[in-house]
Structure 1
Amino acid sequence: MYKTLQNYIPIQAVHQVIDLLNHDNLTVKIKSERKTRHGDYKRLPNGKHQITVNSNLNNYRFLITLIHEIAHFEAYKTYGKNIKPHGREWKHTFQHLMLPFLNPEVFPIQLLPLLAKHFKNPKASSDTDTQLALALKQFDEPNDKTFIFELPLGSTFKLYNGRVFKKVGKRTKRFECIELSSGKLYLFNPNAEVELVN
């Protein structure tokens, strides 16, 4: 596991993460990219537990996602199965597990204030924290995606599933976009990644 993990997370975090994963009933699988999630946790029918994380994440996002999923496992073990997936118990567990990693040996110094702010009240996805998602994106491999907030009004863009939209307005926190095929209005987070259509 050590050799595998050092390809995906900052090297200074590997030993601590291995300690967290040191449970007979827990397995971690690294998956190819899934568009709808970075990772997930589930209790298997045989009573064992499985975490999956996408292989295409940069080291810092991979680490945050892995700890996010370990927090689901730990919260389940501590509080039982009747808790909300991203409720108070999970948040507390995630904060507690993440704290030892929030230092300049693991994360670049410019990410630490954003991570500290995020972990005061962690959300179900770090993607909904626009500032943190943008900062983490700087460490991604270059791609042809752009964020919705970067597009001028009137721009046409498409999603990974081929659906095409036009950006038409802005609300307090999200952007209004019309799906061209149906004429329906949808709201998008500012940091949704899309592909510009010329």
Structure 2
Amino acid sequence: MQNLLQSYIPENSIPKVQELLAHDKLDFIVKQERKTRHGDYRKLPNGRHLITVNSNLNPYRFLITLIHEVAHFETFQAYGAHVKPHGKEWKYTFQHLMLPFINPDVFPKELLPLLAKHFINPKATSDTDHILSLALKQYDENSDKTYIFEVPEGSLFKIYNGRQFKKGNKRVKRFECIEIKTGKKYLFNPNVEIEVI
């Protein structure tokens, strides 16, 4: 397990993560990139539990995602299946599990205040915290990506699945965009990766 983890998370986080994953009925698998999620947790029909995390994540996002999914497992163990997936029980568990990692031995110093703020009230995905999300993306291998907030209003762009949009004005936090093919309006977080047409 240590060899697997060394490839994906910060070195100083490995011992604690190994402790968190050391459950008889918990399996952990690294998956190929999935565009719609960074990771997931499932209780399997055979009574085992499975956590998966995408292989393409940088070490800091990988660690956050892995602890996010472990928090689902721990929440299930403590409260059963009848609580909300990202409800108060999960939030408390996620905060508690992340606390030992939020230090300069694990994360770069510039991420620490952003992580501290995020974990006051963690969301279902760190992507909705676009300030933290953009800060984490600077550690991606391919960091020459274009984000929707960088292009001017009226720009045409496509997303990962090929759907094409025209960028509209900004609402409170998100950009209103019109799908070219259907004319339907969609809201995009500022940190969505796009390809300008």
Distance 1:137 1:143 in 2: 7
Q: Deviations over 1:116-170 (max 9, x none)?
A: 0000000000000011001000000125531111111111110111000010211
Describe the superposition over 1:14-46 as per-residue Cα deviations: whole angstroms up to 9, x where unpaired: 010000000010000000000000000000000
TM-score, with normalisation over the residues of structure 1? 0.98
**Alignment length (residue pairs):** 197
Equivalent residue letter for 1:4: L
- Equivalent position SS for 2:8: coil
Residue 170 of structure 1 corresponds to which residue in structure 2? 170
Structure 2: gaps of 5 or more residues: none
Distance 1:126 1:37 in 2: 11
Residue 71 of structure 1 aligns to a residue in which SS? helix
Q: Which residue number in structure 2 is paired with residue 17 of structure 1?
A: 17
Q: Which residue of 2 aligns with 1:84?
A: 84
TM-score by length of 2: 0.98
Distance in 1 (CA, whole Å) between partners of 2:32 and 2:119 is 27
Please show how residues 83-162 of structure 1 align to structure 2 within 5 Å.
83-142=83-142, 145-162=145-162
Q: What letter is aligned with 1:127?
A: D
Structure 2 residue 60 is matched with structure 1 residue 60: yes
Q: 1:134 to 1:143 in 2, by over 3 A?
A: closer
d(CA) in 2 for partners of 1:93 and 1:25? Answer: 19
3-state SS, counterpart of residue 123 of structure 2? coil
Contact 2:34 2:54 in 1 (8 A): yes
Say whether 1:192 aligns with 2:178. Answer: no
1:128, 1:62 → 2: CA distance? 16
The CA distance in 2 between the partners of 1:157 and 1:184, in whole Å, is 15
List 4+ stretches of structure 1 deviating above 2 A.
none
CA contact (8 A) 1:145 1:196 kept: no
Amino acid of the structure 2 residue aligned with 1:100:
P
